[in-house]
């Protein structure tokens, strides 16, 4: 069982930055692939990025490449999403998720555990 808690969301102007954190508790955080997803009002949950273990391979959706960076600290049991040059279309609730596997996935259905989400709002 893994419990996930996101933090770091907020209101920012376009072009600004935020860093989201996902703190994990429970068993063997370092052995889970992790992902970030987001969901805007009236839209489906959307893949943002994932990171595996132990090779920490990373994958991003095209719209955030070059702007967002996913990382993890297995000592602190925490995953991060550094978001730079934010755009209004990045506005959404951001969720972190854990998958009991070596590699992450773009499919949210493949993740076993989810956080409660943190709101990110980007004003124009």
Q: What percent of the chain has pLDDT over 90?
A: 90
Residues β-bridged to residue 36: 49, 96
Contact predicate 58/70, CB 8 Å: yes
How sure is the predictor about 28, in pLDDT bands with cuts at 50, 70 and 90?
Answer: confident
Q: Residue 50 half-sphere exposure, CB side, CA atoms within 13 Å? A: 23
Mean pLDDT of the chain: 95
115 confidence band (pLDDT: 50, 70, 90): very high
Structure tokens at 11: 């209101």
pLDDT at residue 27, as a whole number? 74
Structure confidence at residue 123 (pLDDT): 97
- Average of pLDDT values for 6-29? 94
Q: Report the distance separating Cα 110 and Cα 100, nearest Å.
A: 9
pLDDT at 30 (0 to 100): 81
Token pair recorded at residue 109: 């259905």
Residue 37 clears pLDDT 90, i.e. is over it: yes
Q: DSSP string of the chain? A: -EEEEEE--EEEETT--EEEEEEEEES-GGGSEEEEEEE-TTS--EEEEEE-SSS--EEE-GGGTTTEEEEEETTTTEEEEEE-S--GGG-EEEEEEEESSSS--S-GGG-SEE---EEEEEE-
Average pLDDT over residues 91-120: 96
């Amino acid at each position: 069982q893994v419990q996930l808690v996101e933090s770091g969301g907020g209101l920012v102007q376009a072009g600004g930055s935020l860093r989201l954190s996902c703190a994990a508790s429970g068993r063997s955080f370092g052995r889970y692939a992790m992902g970030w997803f987001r969901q805007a009002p009236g839209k489906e949950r959307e893949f943002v990025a994932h990171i595996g273990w132990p090779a920490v391979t990373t994958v991003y959706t095209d719209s955030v490449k070059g702007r967002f960076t996913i990382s993890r600290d297995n000592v602190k049991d925490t995953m991060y999403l550094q978001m730079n040059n934010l755009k209004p279309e990045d506005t959404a609730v951001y969720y972190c998720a854990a998958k009991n596997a070596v590699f992450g996935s773009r499919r949210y259905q493949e993740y076993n555990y989810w956080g409660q989400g943190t709101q990110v709002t980007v004003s124009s």
